[in-house]
Structure 1
Amino acid sequence: MKEILREIGMIARALDSVSNIEFKDFDLTKGQYLYLVRICENPGIIQEKVAEMIKVDRTTAARAIKKLENQGFIVKKNDDYNKKIKKLFPTVKGERVYPFLKKEGEYTDKVALAGLSPDETETMLDLLQKVRKNIEVDWEYVKKGNKREY
């Protein structure tokens, strides 16, 4: 059973390493591209939602988002109704980088799924979504300060 999660982990780390190397020219490192893609695809999203989408804690998201803001990839804007809410938007610089990030993601999907039939690809997606949903339950539980019982 644990071999499956090891495989998923190896895939994730390998892809992260490749992306960090390839996106170095844009000065995007340590997974920042994940945040930028989500913000470009969801202009006006709030920081908490980005963290939830990527499955990281709020502190980690805050650091990455602050760095993207300092680098000029994104901008925070006040919500029209609630001044405590800061909405995230890509800047022109962020929008210029996004097509490359999207193209890289599509290429990576193509490479990763090479040799799989459309049915196999669909089955894999369905199964991985089920696994993610199972893990999300524990993620939410632990995120609230709880400890899992083994």
Structure 2
Amino acid sequence: MLARCIQSICDIKYREISLQRGQFIFLTRICENPGINLIELSNILKVDKATTTKAIKKLQEENYVLRNRNETDKRMWHLFPSPKAQEIYAYIIQDENKNIETCFTGFSPEEREAVYKLLKRMRENIEQDWRDLKRYKEEQGGTGINFSNAGK
């Protein structure tokens, strides 16, 4: 629910700078990892390549992202923030930090540290399931879930 609330707030705020639903997440990771490719970006954000491709296309249309072809593998593209993206990156990070501070209102330093450690462990736990499912999906060519007997 925290992630949904923050994403909803950001989606409303970032409309004024022509960032559509959830695109700010892609943009910040490209700014933090200039030259990243689509596969690496998809893995960092835990989304499929189609979602990443669609978001990058829209970010390119708004002149936030530049794509450069890999010299050795012509099928691969590297993503870079445009000057426009670099200008708003500081604003996005400042806003992200404000949201974090709002979430931690009334927390002691010890509570903040405990939350950080617990969330990190939770992320590590679920990432293993994500990797396993992703690997299974790639091997099987499907979702890895059988719904044919659901409700029986």
TM-score, normalised by the number of residues in structure 2: 0.85
Instruction: Tell whether the 8 Å contact from 1:47 to 1:87 is kept in structure 2 after alignment.
Output: yes
Identity score, percent: 33
Partner of 1:70: 61
Instruction: Tell whether the 8 Å contact from 1:36 to 1:90 is kept in structure 2 after alignment.
Output: yes
| Structure having the higher Rg | 2
**Structure 2: runs of 5 or more not aligned:** 138-143, 147-152
SS in 2 for 1:23: helix
Q: Distance in 2 between matches of 1:70 and 1:140?
A: 31
Corresponding residue pairs, total:
139
Once the 2 structures are TM-superposed, how far is the Cα of residue 71 of structure 1 from its aligned partner?
A: 1.2
Q: Distance in 1 between matches of 2:35 and 2:96?
A: 22
**1:13 and 2:13 equivalent?**
no
- Post-superposition Cα deviations, 1:55-91, rounded to whole Å, max 9, x if no partner, equal 1111111110111012110011022332222110000
SS in 1 for 2:79: strand
Aligned residue among 69, 85, 96 for 1:94: 85
Q: Distance in 2 between matches of 1:13 and 1:100?
A: 20
Once the 2 structures are TM-superposed, how far is the Cα of residue 112 of structure 1 from its aligned partner?
A: 0.8
**Structure 1: runs of 5 or more not aligned:** 1-9
- AA partner of residue 52 (structure 2): A
Partner of 2:150: none
- Post-superposition Cα deviations, 1:85-116, rounded to whole Å, max 9, x if no partner, equal 21100001111111110110111111111111
- AA partner of residue 68 (structure 1): L
Instruction: Tell whether the 8 Å contact from 1:75 to 1:88 is kept in structure 2 after alignment.
Output: yes
TM-score, normalised by the number of residues in structure 1: 0.86
Once the 2 structures are TM-superposed, how far is the Cα of residue 142 of structure 1 from its aligned partner?
A: 2.2
- AA partner of residue 100 (structure 1): Y
Q: How does 1:1-150 map to 2 (within 5 A)?
A: 10-144=1-135, 145=137, 146-147=144-145
State the Cα RMSD in Å: 1.4
Once the 2 structures are TM-superposed, how far is the Cα of residue 141 of structure 1 from its aligned partner?
A: 2.2
Instruction: Tell whether the 8 Å contact from 1:57 to 1:143 is kept in structure 2 after alignment.
Output: no
Q: Distance in 2 between matches of 1:62 and 1:71?
A: 14
Q: Distance in 2 between matches of 1:25 and 1:43?
A: 24
- AA partner of residue 46 (structure 2): K
Once the 2 structures are TM-superposed, how far is the Cα of residue 52 of structure 1 from its aligned partner?
A: 1.3
